[in-house]
């Protein structure tokens, strides 16, 4: 009963400091890019994903393009905002409410003056966490320490994630940080929250936008049509509880729903863009996404399975660590990257032969421990 959803167009701005560009400039560049890429512009609804931009932001951003009239939905779900917007778009398309829609995500974090605490409101726990120094870096640092302890690893294994993703990012013109680093450089960079050092944390002083045209009309272009095979959103806790903070339960649950809808399993996935906001996150998500068994993430990384040229390259774009993490844009940009990968358009960082790709975002508020959002998408050609 439900229709196929195709990605007809994909575009993004480079992520980075865009001091001379407004949010309008960024969002419009991505939207016009996706429209040009799709070679069509009969859009029936628009979805804007953003965290910090303010009221009716989507309408404000598109106004000067003359895009005004159709339904426009402003969607927020922290780090999963962009993916949640795509999920809602897929719902409407599958229902047949629309034939073609456009989803974009945008964020301009460099103008906020750094830090997100002042903009998180109305929550006694957020204030409590902040007063205790419990912010996202410290929450992930605790998971990192536990991982090293439980698995008998040293901080080198964390650093290897940064080395891999930053090597990928160096090949991606859309990435903010395009410099290869060594394990030593990672470990010797400024400590943030032990065991995490600066180069193990994604840059948050970053601006950018990404956009997708989604349609139920099979694209006529010569490129291989990319289909959305699975799309899931869930909420919950970042980890299952104090019993096991290495159990990324919300992510595993969301992934199960997406695999189920797609009718595939983790072994079928050929390329992944996942939410490596901190190095430890990527290791935990290998396991949560089923890319390896529980406890297998360190070996998987060491074998090179997840590097470009490996069995299932993870974050060929450089990931959040190198590409940057402009919140609302991130989930959409992950799908732009996978679309390009599946169509053989990822110049300089192309994964060979992948037919199925997966994207994953899991985030929350300032600490996010108990109010997280997660989204997993599976795309295929």
Catalytic annotation, residues? 79
Find the shortest distance in angstroms from Cβ 24 to a copy of itself.
Answer: 8
- Closer of 271 and 327 to a copy of itself (Cβ): 327
Quick check: helix, strand or coil at residue 103? strand
Name the DSSP class of 225: P
Find the shortest distance in angstroms from Cβ 379 to a copy of itself.
Answer: 19
- Closer of 59 and 189 to a copy of itself (Cβ): 59
Tell me how far CA of residue 83 lies from CA of 180, 280, 328, in angstroms: 28, 22, 9
Residue 26 has phi, psi (to 5 degrees) of: -65, -50
- Closer of 9 and 328 to a copy of itself (Cβ): 328
* Residues 83/257, Cβ–Cβ less than 8 Å: no
Find the shortest distance in angstroms from Cβ 335 to a copy of itself.
Answer: 18
Which residues here bind a copy of itself, judged by CB under 8 A? 1-2, 22-24, 46, 51-60, 63, 68-78, 84, 87-88, 91-92, 94-97, 108, 116, 119-126, 232-237, 253, 363-366, 368, 370-373
Find the shortest distance in angstroms from Cβ 333 to a copy of itself.
Answer: 19
Find the shortest distance in angstroms from Cβ 169 to a copy of itself.
Answer: 26
For residue 7, give the nearest of 322, 355, 317, 338 by alpha carbon.
Answer: 338
Supply 295's token pair: 């406890």
Find the shortest distance in angstroms from Cβ 130 to a copy of itself.
Answer: 13
Tell me how far CA of residue 262 lies from CA of 89, 215, 269, 356, 378, in angstroms: 17, 17, 11, 10, 7
Find the shortest distance in angstroms from Cβ 11 to a copy of itself.
Answer: 21
Supply 329's token pair: 């844009």
Name the DSSP class of 113: T
Q: State how far the Cα of 193 lies from the Cα of 211, in Å rounded to an integer.
A: 34
- Closer of 57 and 342 to a copy of itself (Cβ): 57
- Closer of 57 and 181 to a copy of itself (Cβ): 57
**CA end-to-end span of the chain:** 21
- Closer of 20 and 122 to a copy of itself (Cβ): 122
For residue 82, give the nearest of 101, 118, 107 by alpha carbon.
Answer: 107
List, in sequence order, every residue forming a beta bridge with 314; answer none if it has no partner: 272
Question: What is the DSSP code string of 244-278?
Answer: -TT--HHHHHHHHHHHHHHT--GGG--EEE---SB
DSSP strand pairing (271-273 vs 356-364): parallel
- Closer of 35 and 72 to a copy of itself (Cβ): 72
Structure-token match 């045209």, residue found:
213
For residue 180, give the nearest of 169, 189, 196 by alpha carbon.
Answer: 169
């Amino acid at each position: 009963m439900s229709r196929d959803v195709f990605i007809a167009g994909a575009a993004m701005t480079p992520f980075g400091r865009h001091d001379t560009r407004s949010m309008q400039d960024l969002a419009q560049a991505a939207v016009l890019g996706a429209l040009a890429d799709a070679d069509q512009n009969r859009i029936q609804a628009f979805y804007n994903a953003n965290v910090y931009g303010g009221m009716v932001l989507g309408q404000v951003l598109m106004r000067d393009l003359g895009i005004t009239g159709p339904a426009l939905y402003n969607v927020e779900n922290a780090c999963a905002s962009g993916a949640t917007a795509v999920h809602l778009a897929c719902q409407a398309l599958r229902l047949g409410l629309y034939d073609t829609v456009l989803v974009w995500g945008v964020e301009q974090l460099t103008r906020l003056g750094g830090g997100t605490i002042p903009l998180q409101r109305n929550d006694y726990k957020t204030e409590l966490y902040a007063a205790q120094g419990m912010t996202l870096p410290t929450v992930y640092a605790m998971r990192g320490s536990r991982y090293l302890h439980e698995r008998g690893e040293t901080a080198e294994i964390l650093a290897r994630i940064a080395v891999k993703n930053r090597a990928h990012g160096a090949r991606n013109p859309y990435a903010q940080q395009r410099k290869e680093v060594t394990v030593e450089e990672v470990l010797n960079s400024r400590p943030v929250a032990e065991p995490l050092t600066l180069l193990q944390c994604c840059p948050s002083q970053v601006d950018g936008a990404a956009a997708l045209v989604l349609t139920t009309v099979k694209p006529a272009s010569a490129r291989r049509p990319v289909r959305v095979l699975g799309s899931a959103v869930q909420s919950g806790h970042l980890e299952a509880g104090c019993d096991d903070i290495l159990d990324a339960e919300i992510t595993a649950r969301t992934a199960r729903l997406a695999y189920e809808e797609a009718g595939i399993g983790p072994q079928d996935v050929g390329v992944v863009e996942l939410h490596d906001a901190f190095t430890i996150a990527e290791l935990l998500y290998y396991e949560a996404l089923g890319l390896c068994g529980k406890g297998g993430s360190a070996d998987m990384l060491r074998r090179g399975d997840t590097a470009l040229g490996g069995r299932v390259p993870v974050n060929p774009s450089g990931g959040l660590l190198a590409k940057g993490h402009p919140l609302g844009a991130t989930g959409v940009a992950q799908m732009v990257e996978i679309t390009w990968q599946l169509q053989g358009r990822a110049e300089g960082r192309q994964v060979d032969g992948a037919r199925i790709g997966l994207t994953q975002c899991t985030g929350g508020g300032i600490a996010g421990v108990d109010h997280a959002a997660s989204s997993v998408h599976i795309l295929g050609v």
